[in-house]
Structure 1
Amino acid sequence: MSDKEQYRRGVGVMLINDRKEVWVGRRIDNTDEAWQMPQGGIDKGEQPWPAALREVEEETGIRPHLIEQLSCHPQRLRYRLPEELIGVIWKEKWVGQEQDWFLARFLGTDDDVNIGTKTPEFSHWKWIEATHLPDIIVPFKRDLYRRLVEDFAPLM
Protein backbone atom coordinates (compact mmCIF):
# COMPACT_ATOMS: atom_id res chain seq x y z
CA MET A 1 0.00 0.00 0.00
CA SER A 2 1.44 3.38 -0.99
CA ASP A 3 1.79 6.22 1.51
CA LYS A 4 -1.14 8.06 -0.10
CA GLU A 5 -3.39 4.97 0.13
CA GLN A 6 -2.78 4.75 3.88
CA TYR A 7 -4.72 7.97 4.47
CA ARG A 8 -8.49 8.26 4.25
CA ARG A 9 -9.55 11.13 1.98
CA GLY A 10 -11.60 13.68 3.82
CA VAL A 11 -12.71 17.25 4.24
CA GLY A 12 -13.00 19.71 7.08
CA VAL A 13 -14.66 23.08 7.58
CA MET A 14 -13.60 26.00 9.75
CA LEU A 15 -17.03 27.61 10.03
CA ILE A 16 -16.98 31.16 11.39
CA ASN A 17 -19.81 33.38 12.57
CA ASP A 18 -20.12 37.16 12.19
CA ARG A 19 -17.88 37.63 15.28
CA LYS A 20 -15.19 35.49 13.58
CA GLU A 21 -15.62 32.75 16.18
CA VAL A 22 -15.29 29.13 15.06
CA TRP A 23 -17.96 26.43 15.44
CA VAL A 24 -16.84 23.34 17.39
CA GLY A 25 -18.66 20.28 18.65
CA ARG A 26 -17.74 18.01 21.55
CA ARG A 27 -17.46 14.44 20.29
CA ILE A 28 -20.11 12.13 21.66
CA ASP A 29 -17.74 9.11 21.52
CA ASN A 30 -14.84 10.59 23.48
CA THR A 31 -14.75 10.80 27.26
CA ASP A 32 -11.85 13.28 27.21
CA GLU A 33 -14.10 16.17 26.14
CA ALA A 34 -12.51 16.31 22.69
CA TRP A 35 -13.91 19.10 20.53
CA GLN A 36 -13.52 19.45 16.79
CA MET A 37 -14.66 21.31 13.73
CA PRO A 38 -16.97 19.53 11.26
CA GLN A 39 -15.06 17.00 9.20
CA GLY A 40 -15.47 13.64 7.54
CA GLY A 41 -14.81 11.40 4.59
CA ILE A 42 -15.37 12.00 0.90
CA ASP A 43 -17.75 9.52 -0.72
CA LYS A 44 -16.75 7.82 -3.97
CA GLY A 45 -17.26 10.23 -6.87
CA GLU A 46 -17.88 13.20 -4.57
CA GLN A 47 -16.00 16.48 -4.89
CA PRO A 48 -14.47 18.14 -1.79
CA TRP A 49 -16.75 21.21 -1.40
CA PRO A 50 -20.03 19.27 -1.78
CA ALA A 51 -18.59 16.69 0.65
CA ALA A 52 -17.79 19.49 3.12
CA LEU A 53 -21.35 20.87 2.89
CA ARG A 54 -22.76 17.37 3.38
CA GLU A 55 -20.56 16.74 6.42
CA VAL A 56 -21.51 20.05 8.03
CA GLU A 57 -25.20 19.31 7.55
CA GLU A 58 -24.89 15.72 8.79
CA GLU A 59 -23.02 16.79 11.92
CA THR A 60 -24.56 20.17 12.76
CA GLY A 61 -27.92 20.29 11.02
CA ILE A 62 -26.81 23.50 9.27
CA ARG A 63 -28.26 23.61 5.76
CA PRO A 64 -25.87 24.27 2.83
CA HIS A 65 -27.58 27.54 1.82
CA LEU A 66 -26.44 28.98 5.18
CA ILE A 67 -22.75 28.38 4.40
CA GLU A 68 -20.58 30.59 2.21
CA GLN A 69 -17.17 29.32 1.13
CA LEU A 70 -14.46 31.91 1.78
CA SER A 71 -11.34 29.91 1.00
CA CYS A 72 -9.90 26.45 0.44
CA HIS A 73 -6.53 25.61 1.99
CA PRO A 74 -3.98 25.37 -0.84
CA GLN A 75 -2.69 22.01 0.40
CA ARG A 76 -4.25 18.79 1.58
CA LEU A 77 -3.42 18.42 5.24
CA ARG A 78 -2.79 15.15 7.07
CA TYR A 79 -3.01 13.86 10.56
CA ARG A 80 -1.89 10.45 11.75
CA LEU A 81 -3.76 8.42 14.35
CA PRO A 82 -1.97 7.11 17.43
CA GLU A 83 -0.99 3.47 16.91
CA GLU A 84 -3.66 2.21 19.35
CA LEU A 85 -6.43 3.75 17.21
CA ILE A 86 -5.33 2.40 13.81
CA GLY A 87 -7.87 -0.19 12.73
CA VAL A 88 -10.23 0.89 15.53
CA ILE A 89 -11.56 4.26 14.32
CA TRP A 90 -12.27 2.96 10.82
CA LYS A 91 -12.72 -0.63 9.65
CA GLU A 92 -10.11 -0.08 6.96
CA LYS A 93 -6.44 0.03 7.91
CA TRP A 94 -6.00 3.77 7.32
CA VAL A 95 -3.37 5.41 9.51
CA GLY A 96 -5.02 8.85 9.39
CA GLN A 97 -6.75 11.32 7.13
CA GLU A 98 -5.63 13.53 4.26
CA GLN A 99 -8.10 16.40 4.13
CA ASP A 100 -9.16 19.36 2.04
CA TRP A 101 -9.96 22.17 4.49
CA PHE A 102 -12.31 25.06 3.84
CA LEU A 103 -12.89 28.36 5.58
CA ALA A 104 -16.58 29.23 5.45
CA ARG A 105 -18.94 31.86 6.83
CA PHE A 106 -22.10 30.84 8.69
CA LEU A 107 -25.00 32.94 7.39
CA GLY A 108 -27.65 31.70 9.82
CA THR A 109 -28.42 32.05 13.50
CA ASP A 110 -27.74 29.72 16.41
CA ASP A 111 -31.31 28.45 15.98
CA ASP A 112 -30.19 26.89 12.66
CA VAL A 113 -27.81 24.55 14.51
CA ASN A 114 -29.22 21.15 15.47
CA ILE A 115 -26.72 18.54 16.63
CA GLY A 116 -29.57 16.09 17.29
CA THR A 117 -29.09 14.72 13.79
CA LYS A 118 -29.96 11.28 12.38
CA THR A 119 -26.60 9.95 13.56
CA PRO A 120 -25.35 12.37 16.24
CA GLU A 121 -21.60 12.93 16.51
CA PHE A 122 -21.62 15.73 19.08
CA SER A 123 -23.08 16.09 22.57
CA HIS A 124 -22.52 19.85 22.84
CA TRP A 125 -21.47 22.72 20.59
CA LYS A 126 -20.17 26.27 20.94
CA TRP A 127 -18.43 29.16 19.21
CA ILE A 128 -14.83 29.86 20.25
CA GLU A 129 -11.93 32.09 19.26
CA ALA A 130 -9.80 30.41 16.59
CA THR A 131 -6.64 30.73 18.69
CA HIS A 132 -8.17 28.34 21.27
CA LEU A 133 -8.77 25.53 18.76
CA PRO A 134 -5.47 23.65 19.31
CA ASP A 135 -6.11 23.63 23.07
CA ILE A 136 -9.37 21.67 22.85
CA ILE A 137 -8.66 19.17 20.08
CA VAL A 138 -7.27 15.66 20.58
CA PRO A 139 -3.44 15.79 20.74
CA PHE A 140 -2.85 14.00 17.43
CA LYS A 141 -4.71 16.74 15.50
CA ARG A 142 -3.15 19.75 17.26
CA ASP A 143 -0.49 20.47 14.64
CA LEU A 144 -3.09 20.40 11.87
CA TYR A 145 -5.35 22.79 13.82
CA ARG A 146 -2.43 25.15 14.54
CA ARG A 147 -1.67 25.24 10.83
CA LEU A 148 -5.30 25.99 9.94
CA VAL A 149 -5.51 28.80 12.50
CA GLU A 150 -2.29 30.33 11.20
CA ASP A 151 -3.07 29.95 7.50
CA PHE A 152 -6.71 31.06 7.64
CA ALA A 153 -6.18 33.95 10.11
CA PRO A 154 -5.53 36.62 7.42
CA LEU A 155 -8.77 35.60 5.65
CA MET A 156 -10.99 35.81 8.72
Structure 2
Amino acid sequence: MTRTDRLQYRPCVGTMIINSAGEAFVGKRIDNKEGDWWQMPQGGVDEGEDLDEAMLREVEEETGVTASHLQIVHRLEDELYYDLPAELQGKLWKGKYKGQRQVWYLVRFTGADSNIDLEAHKHPEFCEWKWVDPDLLPELIVPFKREIYETVVAGFKGKI
Protein backbone atom coordinates (compact mmCIF):
# COMPACT_ATOMS: atom_id res chain seq x y z
CA MET A 1 0.00 0.00 0.00
CA THR A 2 1.38 3.40 -0.93
CA ARG A 3 1.57 6.31 1.49
CA THR A 4 -1.21 8.05 -0.46
CA ASP A 5 -3.47 5.01 -0.15
CA ARG A 6 -2.71 4.74 3.57
CA LEU A 7 -3.70 8.40 4.10
CA GLN A 8 -7.19 7.64 2.78
CA TYR A 9 -7.82 5.69 5.99
CA ARG A 10 -8.52 7.35 9.32
CA PRO A 11 -5.94 6.38 11.97
CA CYS A 12 -7.73 4.61 14.80
CA VAL A 13 -7.24 2.43 17.87
CA GLY A 14 -9.54 -0.38 18.94
CA THR A 15 -9.66 -2.14 22.28
CA MET A 16 -10.80 -5.57 23.39
CA ILE A 17 -11.38 -5.11 27.11
CA ILE A 18 -11.58 -8.40 28.98
CA ASN A 19 -12.76 -9.03 32.52
CA SER A 20 -11.49 -11.62 34.99
CA ALA A 21 -13.82 -14.23 33.47
CA GLY A 22 -12.28 -13.73 30.00
CA GLU A 23 -15.37 -12.00 28.64
CA ALA A 24 -15.14 -9.01 26.30
CA PHE A 25 -16.84 -5.63 26.74
CA VAL A 26 -19.22 -4.51 24.01
CA GLY A 27 -21.38 -1.43 23.78
CA LYS A 28 -24.47 -0.76 21.73
CA ARG A 29 -23.96 2.42 19.69
CA ILE A 30 -26.39 5.25 20.33
CA ASP A 31 -26.33 6.37 16.68
CA ASN A 32 -27.10 3.03 15.02
CA LYS A 33 -30.86 2.81 14.67
CA GLU A 34 -30.89 0.17 11.90
CA GLY A 35 -29.81 -2.89 13.83
CA ASP A 36 -28.88 -4.58 17.05
CA TRP A 37 -25.14 -4.04 16.56
CA TRP A 38 -22.58 -4.04 19.35
CA GLN A 39 -18.95 -3.05 19.19
CA MET A 40 -15.78 -2.76 21.22
CA PRO A 41 -14.39 0.69 22.05
CA GLN A 42 -12.54 2.36 19.20
CA GLY A 43 -11.74 5.83 18.05
CA GLY A 44 -9.49 8.16 16.15
CA VAL A 45 -5.89 8.94 16.92
CA ASP A 46 -5.03 12.64 17.00
CA GLU A 47 -2.02 13.80 14.99
CA GLY A 48 1.15 13.15 16.98
CA GLU A 49 -0.72 11.26 19.72
CA ASP A 50 0.93 8.19 21.25
CA LEU A 51 -1.08 5.05 20.41
CA ASP A 52 -1.21 3.79 24.01
CA GLU A 53 -2.43 7.20 25.18
CA ALA A 54 -5.01 7.35 22.38
CA MET A 55 -6.33 3.92 23.35
CA LEU A 56 -6.61 4.84 27.03
CA ARG A 57 -8.31 8.15 26.14
CA GLU A 58 -10.84 6.45 23.85
CA VAL A 59 -11.64 3.76 26.42
CA GLU A 60 -12.21 6.40 29.10
CA GLU A 61 -14.36 8.55 26.79
CA GLU A 62 -16.54 5.62 25.73
CA THR A 63 -16.74 3.58 28.95
CA GLY A 64 -15.75 5.89 31.80
CA VAL A 65 -13.04 3.40 32.80
CA THR A 66 -9.77 5.10 33.73
CA ALA A 67 -6.24 3.81 33.14
CA SER A 68 -6.02 2.83 36.83
CA HIS A 69 -8.42 -0.06 36.06
CA LEU A 70 -6.74 -1.19 32.83
CA GLN A 71 -3.70 -3.32 32.10
CA ILE A 72 -2.37 -3.59 28.53
CA VAL A 73 -1.89 -7.28 27.72
CA HIS A 74 -1.04 -7.22 24.01
CA ARG A 75 -1.16 -5.13 20.86
CA LEU A 76 -1.56 -6.57 17.38
CA GLU A 77 1.54 -5.90 15.31
CA ASP A 78 -0.18 -4.99 12.03
CA GLU A 79 -2.74 -2.29 11.33
CA LEU A 80 -6.11 -3.62 10.18
CA TYR A 81 -8.04 -1.82 7.43
CA TYR A 82 -11.68 -1.61 6.50
CA ASP A 83 -13.65 0.39 3.96
CA LEU A 84 -16.90 2.11 4.78
CA PRO A 85 -19.93 0.91 2.81
CA ALA A 86 -20.64 3.09 -0.24
CA GLU A 87 -23.66 4.71 1.43
CA LEU A 88 -21.45 6.00 4.29
CA GLN A 89 -18.43 7.14 2.27
CA GLY A 90 -18.32 10.91 2.03
CA LYS A 91 -20.63 11.29 5.05
CA LEU A 92 -18.49 10.28 8.03
CA TRP A 93 -15.38 12.17 9.16
CA LYS A 94 -16.26 15.11 6.89
CA GLY A 95 -15.78 12.86 3.86
CA LYS A 96 -11.99 12.84 4.30
CA TYR A 97 -11.53 9.05 4.63
CA LYS A 98 -12.85 5.99 2.84
CA GLY A 99 -12.34 3.80 5.91
CA GLN A 100 -10.18 3.22 8.93
CA ARG A 101 -6.77 1.74 9.68
CA GLN A 102 -6.80 0.38 13.19
CA VAL A 103 -4.28 -0.70 15.79
CA TRP A 104 -5.92 -3.18 18.17
CA TYR A 105 -5.19 -3.69 21.87
CA LEU A 106 -6.08 -6.41 24.33
CA VAL A 107 -6.59 -4.84 27.76
CA ARG A 108 -7.48 -6.47 31.07
CA PHE A 109 -10.15 -4.68 33.14
CA THR A 110 -9.17 -4.81 36.82
CA GLY A 111 -12.03 -2.74 38.21
CA ALA A 112 -15.62 -3.49 39.14
CA ASP A 113 -18.59 -3.22 36.80
CA SER A 114 -19.59 -0.12 38.79
CA ASN A 115 -16.49 1.61 37.32
CA ILE A 116 -18.14 1.50 33.89
CA ASP A 117 -20.06 4.71 33.20
CA LEU A 118 -21.28 5.21 29.64
CA GLU A 119 -22.25 8.80 30.43
CA ALA A 120 -18.86 9.85 31.84
CA HIS A 121 -18.14 11.81 28.66
CA LYS A 122 -20.35 14.69 27.49
CA HIS A 123 -21.00 12.90 24.17
CA PRO A 124 -21.80 9.25 24.99
CA GLU A 125 -21.36 6.74 22.18
CA PHE A 126 -23.00 3.70 23.78
CA CYS A 127 -26.49 3.37 25.27
CA GLU A 128 -25.99 -0.14 26.74
CA TRP A 129 -23.11 -2.47 27.49
CA LYS A 130 -22.51 -6.11 28.36
CA TRP A 131 -19.81 -8.78 28.71
CA VAL A 132 -19.73 -11.48 26.02
CA ASP A 133 -17.68 -14.49 25.01
CA PRO A 134 -14.97 -13.14 22.65
CA ASP A 135 -15.85 -15.80 20.06
CA LEU A 136 -19.25 -14.10 19.63
CA LEU A 137 -17.79 -10.70 18.76
CA PRO A 138 -17.85 -11.10 14.95
CA GLU A 139 -21.58 -11.93 15.09
CA LEU A 140 -22.37 -8.74 17.05
CA ILE A 141 -20.60 -6.12 14.90
CA VAL A 142 -21.97 -4.41 11.80
CA PRO A 143 -21.25 -6.64 8.78
CA PHE A 144 -18.67 -4.34 7.16
CA LYS A 145 -16.42 -4.65 10.26
CA ARG A 146 -16.89 -8.42 10.70
CA GLU A 147 -13.60 -9.43 9.06
CA ILE A 148 -11.71 -7.03 11.37
CA TYR A 149 -13.35 -8.62 14.43
CA GLU A 150 -12.53 -12.13 13.20
CA THR A 151 -8.88 -11.09 12.84
CA VAL A 152 -8.84 -9.42 16.28
CA VAL A 153 -10.37 -12.45 18.01
CA ALA A 154 -7.91 -14.79 16.27
CA GLY A 155 -4.99 -12.49 17.05
CA PHE A 156 -5.74 -12.44 20.77
CA LYS A 157 -6.47 -16.19 21.14
CA GLY A 158 -4.33 -17.66 23.87
CA LYS A 159 -3.68 -14.24 25.42
CA ILE A 160 -7.10 -13.82 27.04
Q: Tell me the TM-score normalized by structure 2.
A: 0.95
**Shift in Å at residue 88 of structure 1?**
1.2
Q: Which stretches in structure 1 are left out of the alignment for 5+ residues?
A: none
The alignment status of 1:153 with 2:154, answered yes or no, reads: no
Which residue, 128, 133, 143 being the options, matches 2:147? 143
Correspondence 1:40 to 2:23: no
Runs (5+) with no aligned partner, structure 2: none
Q: Aligned pair count?
A: 156
State the partner residue of 2:129.
125
1:74 has 2:74 as partner: no
Please state how far the C-alpha of 1:154 moved relative to its aligned partner. Answer: 1.2
Cα displacement string for residues 104-136 of structure 1 (whole angstroms, at most 9, x for unaligned residues): 100100000000131100010000000100001
The alignment's C-alpha RMSD in Å is 1.0
Quick check: 21-30 or 84-93, which moved more?
84-93
Cα drift, residue 78 of structure 1: 0.9
2:25 is aligned with what amino acid? W
1:61 and 1:7 map into 2 onto residues whose CA distance is: 27
Q: Could you tell me how far apart the structure 2 residues matched to 1:47 and 1:154 are?
A: 27
Alignment of 1:16-31 (within 5 A): 16-31=18-33
Q: What residue is the counterpart of 1:56 in the other structure?
A: 59
User: So what's the TM-score if we normalise by structure 1?
Assistant: 0.97
Partner of 1:94: 97
TM-superposition CA deviations, 1:22-78 (whole Å, max 9, x none): 000000000112210000000111011100000000000001111100000010111
**Whole-Å separation in 1 of the counterparts to 2:93 and 2:136:** 28
* Partner residue, 1:13: 15
Higher mean displacement: 16-25 or 91-100: 91-100
Detail structure 1 runs of 4+ shifted over 4 Å in the superposition: none
